Amino acid sequence: MFDLLVKGGTLPDGTVADIGIRGDRIAAVGKLEAEAARVIDATGDLVSPPFVDPHFHMDATLSYGLPRVNASGTLLEGIALWGELREIATVEEMVERALRYCDWAVSMGLLAIRTHVDTTPDHLRGVEAMLEVKRRVAPYLDLQLVAFPQDGLYRTKTGRQNLLRALDMGCDVVGGIPHFERTMEEGAESLRDLARIAAERGLMWDVHCDETDDPMSRHVETMAREVTRHGLGGRAAGSHLTSMHSMDNYYVSKLLPLIAESGMTAIPNPLINITLQGRHDSYPKRRGLTRVKEMQALGIPVGWGQDCVLDPWYSLGTADMLDVAFMGLHVAQMTHPLEMARCFTMVTETNAQIMGLPDYGLHPGCLASLVVLDAGTPVEALRLRPDRLAVVSKGRLVASRQRNDARMRLAGRPETLRRRLN
Ligand code: FE2
């Protein structure tokens, strides 16, 4: 007897299987005959482990237009705008906006999010708010909080001290933003400092690294060195890495093996980087996405991150990781069938690996979290970005919707077409 049985779905690898759930765990996968208290018929639908977002800014989300819109569309104006907003936003407002976003996320089958939380202001209201949100959504949505010194570790008087305070308050991951420190030297020093902090506290490390069009921004080299020095390996992630787009090819041929050697992972954010980067270019205009396929060819785990939804940096967004993967697929030209399928894996399994999520997947013993999509295969899911028919989190059905089965019945259509539509 199962508590919940998901019948007849197609798994991402193409196998058709039933998934039996007891409590918050997957109890069995295969052809299952046992009874269940509740059954979800997923015949013909794709059943996937949940979507995972390893890079987001939940303290800023759903604030688009506050205090005004980003007129230049640049990263730097976004940072300046956020600097004003964080001084007037209350804890309650940030909690309310974040919870609203969490509802969107769950409805899209997005059940784990790593969010960077700005630790620059002495009041640390963003940290307080996000800790509260994390506590409230914990039964159905896993949040990891990154202590993120948005204005630089050293660029403000209390930047370093506030990052440490945020970690003491309960943030899970050490952040960083070396390209925003005053000089390349101070950027490099911040990386050495932050790697030590992560190693000493046994924490993960996720750095906004080289989010710039400057081909000479070389912080990822230093980051990889520090990851190797401290043996952080897959506990460390380089976010954005956009300068790599503009770097000299010879230099990249030296850099990529160093990144691979370190074991660190990479999180490009295609929706954001395609809109923020290249703003100082005329034509040709650079895409500002890091070298995704080249990193993957060397075995470096690369995920896709969402980064922003309706905030000072990005005026759109839906919490749909398929939108993120769809954009990434286009910008990185990952159009081979295997590459398209990999884009789906990037927003599920690879992102889960990057976040170090335990018990993730569709195997017996894993947490019973999954999403049923109105599509047949991962590639079709990318093409359609279809409805999420059911979302199960830790054994509980947390979101569902009716299948959209609109039919067209138009006079004068060829018989063959009409038969197919019927
Ligand atoms: Fe970011």
275-324: pLDDT as tens digits: 999 999 999 999 989 999 999 999 999 999 999 999 999 999 999 999 99
Residues 338 and 384 placed together within one structural domain of the fold: no
Q: Which helix (H) or strand (E) holds 134?
A: helix 125-137
Q: State both tokens at 362.
A: 């569709």
**Residue 265 resides in a domain:** yes
Please check whether residues 24 and 67 belong to one and the same domain: no
Same domain, 189 and 232: yes
User: According to the model, what pLDDT value does residue 18 have?
Assistant: 98
What distance in angstroms lies between residue 9's CA and the mean position of ligand 1's atoms? Answer: 35
Give the closest residue to 174 by CA, choosing from 125, 241, 98, 227: 227
**Residues near 381 by Cβ (< 8 Å), separated by ≥ 6?**
46, 48, 322, 344, 373, 375
* Residue after which a domain boundary falls, among 355, 375, 398: 355
Q: If you measure from the C-alpha of residue 45 to the centroid of ligand 1, how many angstroms do you get, rounded to a whole number? A: 33
On whether both 257 and 387 belong to a single domain, the answer is: no
Query: Of 355, 378, 394, which residue sits at a domain end?
Result: 355
How high is the pLDDT of residue 403? 87
267 & 207 share domain: yes
Here the tokens at position 113 are: 């999010």
pLDDT of residue 404: 81
Ligand 1 mean position, distance from CA 5 (Å): 38
- Separation of alpha carbons 394 and 152, rounded Å: 37
Q: How far does residue 48's CA lie from ligand 1's centre (Å)?
A: 26
167 belongs to a structural domain: yes
Query: Which residue ranges of the chain lie beneath pLDDT 50?
Result: 422
CA of 183 relative to ligand 1 center, distance in Å: 20
Q: Are 300 and 263 in contact (CB under 8 A)?
A: no
Distance from Cα 254 to the centre of ligand 1, integer Å: 26
The Cα 166–Cα 124 span in angstroms is 8
CA–centroid distance, residue 342 to ligand 1 (Å): 23
Task: Assess if residue 195 is contained within a domain.
Answer: yes
Whether residue 23 is found in the same domain as residue 92 = no
- Do 347 and 321 contact (CB within 8 A), yes or no? yes
Q: What's the CA-to-centroid distance between 116 and ligand 1, angstroms?
A: 7
Residue 417 lies in a domain: no
Domain range for 376: 4-49+361-407
**Residue 33 sits in the same domain as residue 63:** no
Q: How many domains does the chain have?
A: 2
Q: Are residues 35 and 182 in the same domain?
A: no
Q: Are 277 and 287 in contact (CB under 8 A)?
A: yes
Rounded to whole angstroms, the Cα distance separating 260 from 419 reads 53
**Judgement on whether residues 8 and 117 belong to the same structural domain of the protein:** no
Burial of 171 (0-12, 13-18, 19+ CB in 10 A): buried
Residue appearing with tokens 């997957």:
26
* CB-based contacts of 360-365 (< 8 A; 24+ apart in sequence): 360/49, 360/52, 360/112, 361/49, 362/11, 362/19, 362/26, 362/29, 362/47, 362/48, 362/49, 363/26, 363/29, 364/25, 364/26, 364/27, 364/28, 364/29, 365/25, 365/26
Catalytic residue numbers, as ranges: 211
Residue 114 counted as domain residue: yes
Q: Tell me what pLDDT residue 422 has.
A: 45
* CA of residue 59 to ligand 1 center, whole Å: 11
Asked if the structure places residue 415 within a domain, the reply is no
Expressed in angstroms and rounded, the spacing between residue 367 Cα and the centre of ligand 1 is 28
> Domain end: 355, 375, 396, which one?
355
What are 129-165's pLDDT values in tens digits?
Answer: 999 999 999 999 999 999 999 999 999 999 999 999 9
Q: 314 C-alpha vs ligand 1 centroid, how far in Å? A: 11
**What's the gap in Å between 56 CA and the centre of ligand 1?**
6
Q: Looking at the domain assignment, is residue 421 inside a domain?
A: no
Specify the CATH number for the domain of residue 33. 2.30.40.10
* Both structure tokens of 322: 């398929």
* Ramachandran area for residue 51 (φ above 0: left; ψ -120 to 50: alpha; else beta): beta
CA of 2 to the centre of ligand 1 (A): 41
User: Is 365 part of any domain?
Assistant: yes
Q: Please list the residues that pair with 421 across neighbouring strands.
A: none
Three-state secondary structure call for residue 13: coil
Cβ atoms of residues 188 and 182 within 8 Å? no
pLDDT at 279: 92
Question: Are 192 and 331 in a shared domain?
Answer: yes
**Is 0.85 topped by the overall pTM?**
yes
The CATH number given to whatever domain includes residue 125 is 3.20.20.140
Provide the pLDDT for residue 412: 77
Q: Say if residue 81 is in the same domain as residue 32.
A: no
Residues 294 and 372 in one domain: no
60: which 2 tokens?
């800023």
